[in-house]
């Protein structure tokens, strides 16, 4: 059985992501994860996330274990290109292409999957619940702060601050 995981519209060029994908394409799954973890490329984190997502799909949806999975293929295709411009001299504009890509990881399962049981919880017994009383906590009141009128010196200083006096030292 083939399990896939895709990530669409990744904001990296397909060429740069393909460089990373080509290095881990034919490795065993555990080695591919280790190799992606130590690579010094920005695209390695993106490819690693998609590989982990494919593993999670296989384990959760189909019941496979990590030992039963092998990395079949990593496909990187170009996505839509966002076109922008940069203003330059003489009223001209240079185009900027912001390229995107789609990453698809395919895992192949070696043996038959284990049966995945979807458990449904059914209430068989109904328990009687005793009503509880709610005790109110005393409210904490903050102390009131009294407003203090300014003294005469402060009030006089604020009044005369904007006034220019002549003849004083």
pLDDT tens profile 150-160: 666 655 555 55
Which pTM was predicted?
Answer: 0.65
93-109: strand order across its sheet:
2-10, 93-109, 69-87
What pLDDT, in 10s, does the model give residues 60-90?
Answer: 999 999 999 999 999 999 999 999 999 999 9
Supply the pLDDT for residue 156: 59
Residues of the chain with pLDDT under 70: 111-127, 129, 134, 137, 148-169
Domains and CATH numbers, the chain: 2-109 (3.90.470.10)
Mean pLDDT value across the chain: 84
Cβ-based neighbour number of residue 31 at 10 Å: 12
Supply the pLDDT for residue 121: 60
Supply the pLDDT for residue 119: 59
Supply the pLDDT for residue 33: 96
């Amino acid at each position: 059985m083939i399990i896939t995981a895709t990530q669409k519209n990744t904001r990296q060029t397909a060429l740069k992501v393909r460089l990373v994908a080509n290095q881990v394409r034919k490795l065993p799954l555990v080695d591919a994860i280790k190799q992606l973890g130590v690579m010094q490329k920005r695209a390695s984190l993106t490819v690693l996330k998609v590989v982990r997502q494919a593993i999670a799909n296989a384990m959760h949806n189909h019941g496979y274990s990590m030992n039963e999975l092998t990395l079949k293929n990593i496909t990187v295709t170009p996505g839509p290109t966002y076109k922008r411009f940069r203003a330059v001299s003489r009223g001209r504009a240079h185009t900027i292409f912001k390229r995107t890509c789609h990453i698809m990881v395919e895992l192949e399962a070696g043996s038959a999957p284990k049966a995945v049981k979807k458990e449904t919880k059914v209430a068989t017994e109904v328990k009687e619940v005793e009503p509880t009383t709610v005790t109110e906590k005393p409210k904490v009141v903050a102390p009131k702060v009294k407003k203090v009128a300014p003294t005469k010196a402060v009030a006089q200083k604020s009044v005369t601050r904007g006034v220019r006096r002549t003849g004083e030292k």
